[in-house]
Structure 1
Amino acid sequence: MSNLIRNCWYVAGWSTDFSRTPEQRWLLGEPIVLYRRTDGGIVALEDRCAHRMAPLSAGRVEDDAIRCMYHGLKFGSDGRCMEIPGQELIPDRACVRRYPVVEKNSWVWVWMGDPSLADDSRIANSKALDDPSWILKTGHLDYEANYELINDNLLDLTHLTYVHAGSFGADEAWSRNRPKIETLDNGIRSSRWIINSPPIPPLGKAAQHERVDIWTSFDFIMPGTFLLYTAMYAAGTARLCGEGEPGAEHEILFNNFTSQAVVPLSEQTSRYYFSWGPGAAFGTEADAQIMIDVAKSAFLEDKVMIEAQQRIINANPQVRPMPTSADKAITIFQRMMKAQDVARDAPVFERA
């Protein structure tokens, strides 16, 4: 298992999670407090008062500042202490770290590394919950496991055949078929056809077919964002496409999209955010609810396996995994993550 990667954007929660009431989040073993300014923008500060290290998340938001409710120190949204009750002199060291934070596509993202490297163009292009092309439902799940094990699980979908045969109805093609792997600037792309497969409900027009060809393609963006598009076509479509990406001339029977984010809370605890639903042209709110309920059941199946895997690893961390041909995406992605981590040490705080 590698160390936690600092110079990346991490999801702190859904946009709807944050208001004028301070919220605590743990990222990479660090406590962070998030709240909204009067203009609606997000603030992310170290959740540790400079005085006696009480959590600011137990404090009170006043205008754009936050007051510690232990001894009353007040910190601006830039992390500087603005007020110490009963004391006129405010030392320079009376400050807390400010984290770069961006709200994009219904998620709030926090940069955990060197602030000078925080480029928001590197944030994964997930789907917003109000995107009119999709009907998306959401959820999240906490793991007692290192986040890389969850990344590995998503990068190698051969496990669908064995872990999710009942929930997702995945057949053996998922374990026997190898995808095409491409490298992106900030991750990898994995694409393939699952040919002549039973359609998986909810089905839309696919319900009229005993067998379909399923096109599936995902981007996995550092440090752990999974963006998967899936579409069902009439059997024989893969052959007509030369087993390449389908074109607009081929009729889609049903499609769906999922955005998922894997977040390390600490070395051995993680949070997994996900949205999933059908294309607005192919499904309904009811379909979306069925899908997210199925997904939650399936992801609990992953959780059981991955947490058990973590316990076995902990028993003897010196044992190394033996790769198979299905691990190509995992190997490439892990190398990219190591190259990405150009500076682990971040400043104690960032002033405005």
Structure 2
Amino acid sequence: MISTTAPQRQHADHTTPLIRNAWYIAGLSSETGRDLLPRTLLETRVVLFRKRDGSISALHDRCPHRSFPLSKSRLEDDTIVCGYHGITYDGSGRCLHVPSAPSAGANIKIRHFPVIETAPLVWIWMGDAEKADPALIPDFSFLSDPNWKTVSGSFSMRSNYVAMHENLLDQTHFTFLHAGSVGTPEWATSPLEVSQNGDSVSLRRELKNSLPPGIYGTPMKLEGRMVDRLSEASFFGPAGHLALAKITVSEPVANEREEFRVNILHVFTPETQNTLHYWWFNSRDFGLDDEAASKFLYEASHAAYVEDVDALGWISEIVTTESDDYREFSFRSDRPGLMMRQVLSRLAAQEQVQPTAVAAE
């Protein structure tokens, strides 16, 4: 089935306002320390730092006096001293001292953003602080589970996050864009199941008795063997996707491992309307001490994601520079992405109808 879509009317696209009332990734635990860390998130400059007690503070990276970036300032104990005029702020953004006007400052406060750390991830809420429910943060405890071995990486990329979400829900491109890694000739036509639970959209693909893709055949030591391949992937919200790849040996021999699992986590945060911070994590339940497998999986994963980054960058250049008198064609295989785009469109519209406070004051 072929359909045409007017993206701006029915589905989110590169012009849809960014959704603020959601948990996004501000960075990694490993990069958030006693040095002031600047990062632009949802078109807002933020500075992060770790306090003496180990907790993390996130403030608007802009002194309200004369707009000097606090990330270019100095961290003293758990306070930031502005590098321009020496005005001091605590981790909640409250002004503690104005050298040139000691009696002033009591009513000055910088925007402070809710932050929760679930190592290795640092989550931030850029919208209405009263809606920042920690229970909304997904459970990715496998990232620190000793029964899983993880390789990971990151990119700064040119793309709107809607296109990135749709890319991850569209596994038919594996066969063509990622032919040397996760793609096999049969995968684009594998049976597709799609479901929706609230704001979450999930897909399931399964292919029986086929050769494994290169990214898995080598580290699993299954080159040339016939396997059953299962992929389950979910859009869990504006911040990203979680997928499971399960490979099962079709005709196992005695005493050999039959099943192999890989969790694939993609999390990304809009820097601007058309640029992203992107982190990926591939966690496996086999060969935990196999350094060669880790090296191979990192290199193969990185190469595949570079292909995505390049492709989405090229697409972004076109959609942001050409005129908007364009209608896109969609097929049955695009259902997961179109459902996700409806979710994002609805969430964005709700925020536009009911504007939210940007952060805690």
Q: Could you state the TM-score of these two structures normalised by the residue count of structure 1?
A: 0.89
Count of residue pairs brought into register by the alignment: 338
Is structure 2 residue 33 aligned with structure 1 residue 19? yes
Amino acid in the other structure paired with 1:151: H
For 1:167 and 1:4, how far apart are their aligned partners in 2?
Answer: 32
**Which of 322, 326, 351 does residue 343 from structure 1 map onto?**
351
Residue in 1 that maps onto 2:159: 145
**Which of 189, 201, 205 does residue 188 from structure 1 map onto?**
201
Question: Which has the larger strand fraction?
Answer: 2
Residue in 2 that maps onto 1:272: 278
Relative contact order, higher structure (CA 8 A, sep 6+): 2
* Offset, 1:347: 2.8
TM-align CA RMSD = 2.2
- Seen in structure 2, the aligned counterparts of structure 1 residues 320 and 17 have a Cα distance that, compared at 3 Å, is farther
* Structure 2 unaligned spans of 5+: 1-12
* Offset, 1:178: 3.7
Residue in 1 that maps onto 2:127: 113
**Which of 66, 79, 82 does residue 65 from structure 1 map onto?**
79
Deviations 1:293-321 (A, max 9, x none): 11111111111211111122121234132
SS of match in other structure, 2:144:
coil
* Offset, 1:234: 2.3
Amino acid in the other structure paired with 1:343: E
Does structure 2 retain, via aligned residues, the 8 Å contact 1:202–1:290?
Answer: no
Deviations 1:235-285 (A, max 9, x none): 279xxxxxxxxxxxxx64322112111211001111210011321466723
Which stretch shows the higher mean deviation, 29-38 or 189-198? 189-198
**Which of 308, 312, 317 does residue 306 from structure 1 map onto?**
312
Amino acid in the other structure paired with 1:227: L
* Offset, 1:114: 0.7
1:36-51 to structure 2, matched below 5 A, reads 36-51=50-65
* Offset, 1:65: 1.7
Residue in 2 that maps onto 1:327: 334
Deviations 1:28-83 (A, max 9, x none): 11000000111000101100011111111112222222111111111111111111
Residue in 2 that maps onto 1:198: 211
Does structure 2 retain, via aligned residues, the 8 Å contact 1:22–1:61?
Answer: yes
Amino acid in the other structure paired with 2:230: W
Deviations 1:133-187 (A, max 9, x none): 210011101112212111110011110000000233x112221124211223441
For 1:66 and 1:186, how far apart are their aligned partners in 2?
Answer: 39
SS of match in other structure, 1:129:
helix
Residue in 1 that maps onto 2:324: 317
Residue in 2 that maps onto 1:246: none
SS of match in other structure, 1:215:
strand
SS of match in other structure, 1:191:
strand
Does structure 1 retain, via aligned residues, the 8 Å contact 2:226–2:251?
Answer: no
* Structure 1 unaligned spans of 5+: 238-250
* Offset, 1:127: 4.2
- Seen in structure 2, the aligned counterparts of structure 1 residues 321 and 126 have a Cα distance that, compared at 3 Å, is farther
Which stretch shows the higher mean deviation, 306-315 or 192-201? 192-201
Residue in 1 that maps onto 2:233: 218
- Seen in structure 2, the aligned counterparts of structure 1 residues 127 and 317 have a Cα distance that, compared at 3 Å, is farther
Residue in 1 that maps onto 2:293: 287
Which stretch shows the higher mean deviation, 321-330 or 274-283? 274-283
**Which of 263, 266, 273 does residue 260 from structure 1 map onto?**
266
Is structure 2 residue 307 aligned with structure 1 residue 297? no
For 2:96 and 2:198, how far apart are their aligned partners in 1?
Answer: 42
Which stretch shows the higher mean deviation, 153-162 or 101-110? 101-110
Residue in 2 that maps onto 1:242: none
Residue in 1 that maps onto 2:66: 52
Which stretch shows the higher mean deviation, 317-326 or 12-21? 317-326
Does structure 1 retain, via aligned residues, the 8 Å contact 2:97–2:105?
Answer: no
Does structure 2 retain, via aligned residues, the 8 Å contact 1:139–1:274?
Answer: yes
Residue in 1 that maps onto 2:19: 5
Does structure 2 retain, via aligned residues, the 8 Å contact 1:199–1:206?
Answer: no
Amino acid in the other structure paired with 1:174: W
For 1:4 and 1:208, how far apart are their aligned partners in 2?
Answer: 44
The ranges of structure 1 where at least 4 consecutive aligned residues each deviate by more than 6 angstroms after the TM superposition are none
For 2:54 and 2:81, how far apart are their aligned partners in 1?
Answer: 18
Does structure 2 retain, via aligned residues, the 8 Å contact 1:75–1:81?
Answer: yes
SS of match in other structure, 2:330:
coil
